[in-house]
Copies of this chain bind each other. A is one copy, B any other.
Amino acid sequence: MKIKNLSQLIVELYEKLSSWEEDVVKDSGLTTTQAHIIDIVGHSGSIKMKDLAEKTGVTTGTLTVAADRLEERKLLKRKPHESDRRSYLIELTPEGESYFKQHHKFHLRMTEDLVSDLTEKEQEIFAGIIEKVLGKI
């Protein structure tokens, strides 16, 4: 297998996933950053600003503003940290949870769509290879 071909295929796959994700996020009325934040909080549960900023890959200053927007839209809330008065815990509101679940469902549909031409066997092999690539095996 020439690395060149494989590289090209991976880039194309990445672009396909990327464009799907962007389309669905924009349709939902959030920016990609906002959706990313909802997704991380949805997965992590209650999380400190600082840790959330780190996971999101932005500075705390950037996150402050993004959290403001999401709080305005009632998708998340800041809860005072019980033992550290400098800190907040970020949590999803019911609306935020609902967005998160919906987005999760989109991923399932997207995956179904993506692998619809693969046999059951091929899907398993695909999963195994991705696990290996991710260093999970």
Q: Is there contact, CB below 8 Å, between A122 and B112?
A: no
Per-residue interface assignment for chain A, residues 1 to 21, with 1 indicating a CB less than 8 Å from any chain B CB and 0 otherwise = 101111101111110111101
Beta-carbon contact of B11 and A107 below 8 Å: yes
* Chain A interface (Cβ < 8 Å from any Cβ of B): 1, 3-7, 9-14, 16-19, 21-22, 57, 107-108, 110-112, 114-115, 117-118, 120, 122-127, 129-135, 137
Contact partners of A114 in chain B: CB under 8 A: 10, 133
How many whole Å from A109's CB to the nearest CB in chain B? Answer: 9
Q: Which B residues are CB-close (under 8 A) to A120?
A: 1
Further 12 A-B residue pairs, CB within 8 A, beyond A1-B123, A14-B21 = A6-B127, A7-B110, A9-B130, A10-B111, A10-B114, A10-B130, A12-B130, A12-B134, A13-B130, A19-B57, A117-B132, A126-B129
CB distance from A54 to the nearest CB of B (A): 12
Q: Which chain B residue lies CB-closest to A19?
A: B57
**What are 18 A-B contacts defined by CB distance under 8 Å?**
A1-B127, A3-B108, A7-B107, A9-B127, A9-B134, A10-B107, A11-B107, A12-B130, A13-B130, A13-B134, A18-B18, A22-B57, A117-B132, A117-B133, A118-B133, A125-B125, A125-B129, A126-B129
